[in-house]
Amino acid sequence: MKIENTFIFSIRALSGYPARTLLVLLAMSMGVASVMLLTSLGEGARRYVNREFTSLGTHILFVLPGRSETTGGPPPLLGQTPRDLTLDDALSLAKNPSIGKVAPIVVGSAPVSWNEKDREVTILGTTAEMFEIRQLAMGQGRFLPVQDPSRGSGVAVIGYKIKKEIFQNRSALGEWIRIQDRRFQVIGVLAKKGQSLGLDMSDLVIIPVASAQSLFNTSSLFRIMLEAKNRNDVKAAKEAVLRTIKERHDGEDDITVITQDAILSTFDRILTALTLTVAGIAAISLAVAGILIMNVMLISVSQRKSEIGLLKAIGATGSQVLWAFLTEAAILSMTGAILGIFIAYSGVIVIIRLFPDFPVHIPLWSIAASVFTAQLTGILFGVLPARRAAGLDPVMALSRR
Amino acid sequence: MDRVFRVGEEEVYALRDVSLNLDHGEYTSVMGPSGSGKSTLLNILGLLDRPTKGTYQLENDDTTSLSDEDQALVRRDRIGFVFQFFHLIPRLTAAENVELPLILAGIDPKERKTRVTQALAVLGLKDRARHRPDQLSGGQRQRVAIARATIMRPSIILADEPTGNLDRHSGGDVIEILENLNKSGISLVIVTHDPALGERARRNIIMTDGRIISDKTRDPVL
Ligand SMILES: Nc1ncnc2c1ncn2[C@@H]1O[C@H](COP(=O)(O)OP(=O)(O)O)[C@@H](O)[C@H]1O
Ligand SMILES: [Mg+2]
C-alpha cells in the first residue's frame, strides 16, 4: 500500500470516530501548549532579568567587604567584615586606568521628617558618580553636586514616592527636611522609575557619602559600585580592584568583587534551569496524552477487529496493518501538536495584552522539543496497539462471537 | 490434513484426515451440520488458517511453507472471499469498499477508478457507488462484497454461507451472480446449510465431525 493511501485510510478511520479523535487531539494539544506556554513564561522571566541588568550597563562591578568563597554567587552576609572598606579605598580605585567612575555606598535607615510628618526611610550615602553608574534620571532639580567626597554637605535628593508622601503636590525643591537631627535641603527629586535590581529607588533619600557616614557614625562603606572603562576592561578592572585593595589592606584578600556579568549569568543559569524544569514537568502531560492515545487506539483496535480481519482476508499484510495504525497515531499526535502550537501562541498573545512589559517569548527549541516529544510519545504508545492489530488472527477477528 | 484447536487442556479436531483435490474452474458446495468443520476447511483453502498437519497446494505452489506476509499476497491476488456477514467497512462507500484490494496492491488511482466503476456496473450497483453500507439492502451489500472479492480477478472464490443473511429472493440473485462468475472460469466453493443450494453445485461435499463423509461429482451430462 502506498504512503498516501495509508494516510487517506487512516484519516478516514479517524474521522469515522470523531468523539474519540477529538478527545485525543485535545489531550495532545493541551500537553504541547502547556510545555510551550510554561517555557515561554520561564524564558520571559529570563529575558526580563536580563533586560533589567543590561539597562544598568553590563560593565558594572560591586566591591563588598569580606571574602566570599563563591565568587559570582550571591553577596555574602553582612557583619562578618574582617576589615572595613573605607572612602579612601574607594577613591584609590578611581586612579586605575581600566576603571571609570566609582561610587562609594553607605546604606542605613533613619527617620525623615518635614512639617510634623515623620517616617523611617532608607538613606543612601553616595557621590555624584552614582547618577551615571546607575543610570538614574531626575524628575525635578538636580542630583548630588560633584564635590570632595570626604566633605559632607546638607543636600538631599529624594525618591519619587517619598516626595509624594511627604510633600504631596507641593514643590519639594529648596525645602529643608530633617534626617534624624540634621537638616538637609532638597535639591532634586528622582524620576518615577520602579524597582531597580530589587532596590526601590523611589523610596529612599540620597545624601553625600560623608554626611551619611557621620549620620550613622561609621567610617566604613557598605559597598563600592564602579564601572569598568568599557566592556572589555571588566576583567582587568576586577583584578585592579583586588590588587589595589590588597595593597591597602596589608596584603589581605579581604574583599569580594562581583561583576555584573557574573550576577547576570547566575540568574541566567537559574532561570534557564527553572524553564527546563517547568518544561519537563509539562512534558509529563505529553506522556499522559501518549498513554491516552494508546488506550484509545487499543479500544479502536478491539472495536475494529472485524475490519482488521477483513483487511487481512482481502490481502493486507501484517506490516500494512501495522503501518496503517502507526500512521493513525502519528496523524493524531501531529495534529495535536499543531493545535497545541496555535493554543500556545494564542495564550502568549493574551499574556502580552495583559502584561505588556513582560517579555514572554516562545523559544524555538521548545516548539521543536514539544512537537518532537508529542510525535515520539504518540508513535511509541501507538506501537503496542498497532502490533496488536497487525498480529490479529483474521479468522478469529471475522467470526462473530 | 488435520486442523486441531487447543481449548484449554482439550484438543478439538476441526478437520480430521481431510484430503481434497479441487480442479480449476470447479463449482463445489460444502454442506454439513454446524460445527462439522466447513468454515475451517474454507479458511484453510483461503489461506486464512493453516493446517495443523498436512500440506495445501494452490496451483502447484506449496502454500504451507509461505510466510504470513507472502500468504497475504496470495490472498490478495488469487483468492476472493464472500462472507455471511458481508464484512463491509461501514464508514466507506460501496465504491471505496470495492477499491480496497486495489489500494492494498498499490494500483494507481486512475486504473482503480475504472475497474471499480466497471465492477459495480456489472453487478448492477452503478448508482449505489457513493452509498455507504447502511444505506444498502442486504442483497446489495453482498453484491458489493462480491465486487470486492472479484476486483483482483482471483482464480478462486470462497463463499461461507453467502445467503445466510439474505431473504430468498436476493439470496437467489447472489447465487446466480456467483454461478455466472464460475461460468467465466473462476473456481467457486460455497459453504451452505441449504440442501437446495448445495445441490446446484456440480460437486457436493458433505462433512461431519471434521471428516468428509461424502464427495460426489455430478455427471456433466445430467
Ligand atoms: N478458534 C477456534 N478455537 C477452538 N475451536 C474452534 C475454533 N474454530 C473452530 N473451532 C471448532 O472447530 C469445529 C469446526 O468449526 P467450524 O469450522 O466453524 O464449523 P462449521 O463452519 O461447519 O460450523 C467446531 O467444533 C468449533 O467449535
Ligand atoms: Mg461455519
Claim to verify: residue A286 and residue A393 sit in the same structural domain: yes
Domain boundary among A196, A222, A253: A253
Does residue A71 sit within a domain? no
Residue A234: pLDDT band with limits 50, 70, 90: confident
Q: What number is the average pLDDT over the span B1-9? A: 86
**Is A316 in Cβ contact with B91 (below 8 Å)?**
no
Helix (H, G, I), strand (E, B) or coil at A97: coil
**Lowest mean per-residue pLDDT among A49-63, A263-277, B204-218:** A49-63
Looking at every residue in chain B, the average pLDDT score rounds to: 89
B85 touches A: beta carbon within 8 Å: yes
Sorting pLDDT into bands at 50, 70 and 90, what band is A2?
A: low
Give how far the C-alpha of residue B90 lies from the chain's centroid of Cα atoms, to the nearest Å: 20
Nearest chain B residue (CA) to A309: B87
Q: Where are the alpha helices (DSSP H) in A107-258?
A: 129-133, 160-167, 209-215, 234-248
Which of A20, A317, A396 to mutate against chain B (most B CBs within 10 Å)?
Answer: A317
A249, A133: one domain: yes
Residue ID of nearest Cα to ligand 1 atom 10: B14
Q: What is the average pLDDT score of chain A?
A: 85
| Residues A41 and A188 occupy one common structural domain | no
pLDDT tens digits, residue range B163-182?
Answer: 888 888 888 889 999 999 99
pLDDT at A194 over 70: no
Residues A333, A379: Cα–Cα separation, whole Å = 8
A199 and A120 belong to one structural domain: yes
Residue A94 grid coordinates: 578611581
Say which amino acid occupies A306: S
Helix, coil or strand: residue A252: coil
User: Which of A253, A274, A303 is the endpoint of a domain?
Assistant: A253
| Record: contact A398-B100, CB cut-off 8 A | no
* Cα–ligand 1 centroid distance for B35 (angstroms): 6
Largest CA distance in chain A: 103
Which range, of A46-60, A211-225, A258-272, averages the lowest pLDDT?
A46-60
What average pLDDT does this structure show over B42-55?
A: 90
Contacts of B214 (CB under 8 A, 6+ apart): B204, B205, B206
For residue A105, the cross-strand partners are: A223
A305 pLDDT higher than 90? no
Residue A146 lies in a domain: yes
B118, pLDDT greater than 60:
yes
**Separation CA B49–CA A236 (nearest Å):** 84
Q: Say whether residue A401 is in contact with chain B using an 8 A CB cutoff.
A: no
To test the contact with chain A by mutation, choose from B41, B76, B96 the residue with the greatest count of A C-beta atoms within 10 A, namely B76
- For residue A230, is it within any domain? yes
Judged by a CB distance cut-off of 8 A, whether residue B81 touches chain A is: yes
Return phi, psi of residue B64, to 5°. Answer: -65, -30
Secondary structure element (H or E) that encloses residue A90, with its range: helix A87-93
Strands (E), B94-176: 156-160
CA dist., res. B54 & res. B45, Å (int): 13
Is residue B31 lining ligand 1, measured as CB closer than 6 Å? Answer: no
Q: Do A87 and A38 share a structural domain?
A: no
Listed in sequence order, the residues at least 6 apart from B48 whose beta carbon sits closer than 8 Å to its beta carbon are A312, A313, A394, A395, A398, B75
**pLDDT at residue A183 above 90?**
yes
Q: What pLDDT does residue A205 have?
A: 94
The complex scores an ipTM of 0.89
Q: Of A221, A253, A285, which residue sits at a domain end?
A: A253
Looking at beta carbons, which residues of chain A come within 8 Å of B76? 314-316
**Window from A278-292, B152-166, B202-216 with minimum mean pLDDT:** A278-292
The domains found in chain B, sorted by start residue, are 3-88+153-217 (3.40.50.300)
User: Is A364's Cβ below 8 Å from some Cβ in B?
Assistant: no
> Rounded to an integer, what distance in angstroms lies between the CA atom of residue A50 and that of residue A47?
5
Q: How confident is the model at residue A27 (pLDDT cuts 50, 70, 90)?
A: confident
Ligand at minimal distance from the CA of B162 is 2
Q: Is residue A61 part of a domain?
A: no
A378-397 pLDDT per residue, tens: 888 888 888 988 888 888 88
d(CA B81, ligand 1 centre) in Å: 18
In this prediction, residue A56 has a pLDDT band, given cuts at 50, 70 and 90, of low
B35 C-beta closer than 6 A to ligand 1: yes
User: What is the pLDDT confidence band of residue A346, given thresholds at 50, 70 and 90?
Assistant: very high
Residues A219 and A296 in one domain: no
**Pairing status of strand B203-208 against strand B27-31:** parallel
Residue A32 shares a structural domain with residue A160? no
Q: Is residue A350 assigned to a domain? A: yes
Mean pLDDT of the region A26-34:
88
Amino acid at A193: K
pLDDT digits (tens, 9 = 90+) for A88-108: 888 898 888 888 899 999 999
Task: Provide the residue type at A82 as one letter.
Answer: P
Q: What Rg do the C-alpha atoms of chain B give, in angstroms?
A: 18
pLDDT value for A356: 84
pLDDT score of A75: 54
- The reported pLDDT for the residue numbered A141 is 92
Q: In what order do the strands lie in the sheet with B203-208?
A: B79-82, B156-160, B187-191, B27-31, B203-208, B211-217
Residues A295 and A350 placed together within one structural domain of the fold: yes
Contact residues for B181 (Cβ-Cβ < 8 A; gap 6+): B146, B150, B157, B188
Q: Which three cell numbers stand for residue B133?
A: 453500507
How far does chain B reach from its first CA to its final CA, in angstroms?
32
What is the percentage of chain A residues whose pLDDT exceeds 90?
A: 21
Q: Which residues of B42-53 are buried (b: 16+ CB within 10 A; e: fewer)?
A: bbbbbbbbbbbe
Among the listed residues A141, A174, A177, the one whose alpha carbon sits nearest the alpha carbon of residue A162: A177
One domain, residues A379 and A296: yes
Between A57 and B208, the higher pLDDT residue: B208
CB contact under 8 A, A13 and B92: no
Residue B210 CA: nearest ligand 1 atom is 14
Mutate to test the interface with A, among B89, B110, B141 (most CBs of A within 10 A): B89
Query: CA dist A210 to A132, A163, A340, Å?
Result: 19, 23, 60
- Which pairing describes strands A195-196 and A199-200: parallel, antiparallel, or unpaired? antiparallel
At A192 the pLDDT is 81
- Mean pLDDT across the stretch A235-264? 84
Structural domain including A202 reads 82-253
The pLDDT confidence band at residue A231, using thresholds 50, 70 and 90, is confident
Which 3 state secondary structure label does DSSP give A316? coil
Identify the bridge partners of residue A112 per DSSP, sorted by sequence position: A119, A179
Domain annotation covers residue A72: no
Please give the average per-residue pLDDT across B52-65, as a whole number: 87
pTM of the model: 0.70
Q: Would you call B46 and A306 a contact, using CB atoms and an 8 Å cutoff? A: no
Q: Is the CB of B213 under 6 A from ligand 1?
A: no
Judged by CB atoms closer than 8 Å, whether chains meet at B103 and A1 is answered as yes
* Range list of β-strands (E), chain B: 3-7, 10-15, 27-31, 57-58, 61-62, 79-82, 156-160, 187-191, 203-208, 211-217
Residues A338 and A381 in one domain: yes
Residue A64 located in a structural domain? no
Question: Is A187 a residue whose pLDDT tops 90?
Answer: yes
Predicted confidence at residue A401, as pLDDT, reads: 46
A/B interface, count of CB pairs below 8 Å? 70
Rounded Cα distance between B63 and B47, Å, is 8
Of the candidates A267, A251, A250, A248, the one whose C-alpha atom is nearest the C-alpha of residue A259 is A267
If one counts the domains in chain A, the total is: 2
Closest-lying ligand 1 atom to the alpha carbon of residue B15: 14
Any domain includes A59 = no
Cα separation of B87 and A400, whole Å?
A: 11
Residue A81 banded pLDDT, cuts 50, 70, 90: very low
Q: Based on the domain organization, do A180 and A314 belong to the same domain?
A: no
Is B170 touching ligand 1 by the criterion CB < 6 Å?
no
Chain B contact present for A394, CB below 8 A: yes
Burial of A371 (0-12, 13-18, 19+ CB in 10 A): buried
For B104, the closest of A13, A15, A314 (CB atoms) is A314
Same domain, A199 and A338: no
Average pLDDT over residues A21-25: 87
Nearest to A16 among B39, B69, B91 (CB): B91
